[in-house]
Amino acid sequence: MPASCWRKPSEFNERLRRAVAERAYQVCEYCLVHEEDAYHGGEVDHIISLKHGGASSLDNLAFACFHCNRHKGTDIGARAETGAFVRLFNPRVHRWRDHFHLQSGPIEAATEVGAATAKLLEFNHPERVALRRILADTGRYPTIEALARMRE
Ligand SMILES: [Zn+2]
């Protein structure tokens, strides 16, 4: 193997993480909290998990806060209120504003995809809503970066 093809895994991961974070303006692509405002920072999420055949490529990666990433786990869908299986919100395919409405703390779903995602990722857990309200009161939520994400 030529030396130019070899990379330490940690270098590759850090470069990929940086690319994913910068593309998302350091904002969680699910709940729109900026990584500087998330207690545990931001992480790289496999939209389609490795377990389900997803790749570690930019078109299958999203920037997610700790809470969204933990609640999403390896899931790719959830049961809707109707009982039907619904795919989760995919930041690479869907526009945030088509599936969610931002209130001054709660995130309301506008579609079945939005509802399934909001429920599974526990967007409106009281502690998360309280944090977003505090951030909103101090002008940190949504951030300019999050507003840019919403417009995309
Ligand atoms: Zn989040």
Report CA(3)–ligand 1 centroid distance (Å): 38
Full residue range of the structural domain in which residue 100 is found:
3-151
Structurally, how many domains does the chain consist of? 1
Q: What is the CA(6)–ligand 1 centre distance, in A? A: 33
Ligand 1 centre and the CA of 64: distance in Å? 5
* pTM (two decimals): 0.90
What token pair was written down for 91?
A: 């930041």
Ligand 1 centroid vs 8 CA: distance in angstroms?
Answer: 29
- Which structure tokens are listed for 83? 């009982």
- List of E strands, the chain: 42-46, 61-65, 77-79, 85-87, 100-102, 107-109
Query: pLDDT tens digits for the chain (152 residues)?
Result: 444 445 555 666 889 999 999 999 999 999 999 999 988 889 999 999 999 999 999 999 999 999 999 999 999 999 988 889 999 999 999 999 999 998 878 999 999 999 999 999 999 999 999 999 999 999 999 988 888 877 77
Question: How far apart are the C-alpha atoms of 17 and 64, rounded to whole Å?
Answer: 11
* C-alpha 85 to ligand 1 mean position (Å): 22
Ligand 1 midpoint to CA 123 (Å): 7
CA dist list (Å): 98 to 47, 107, 108, 127: 18, 13, 11, 25
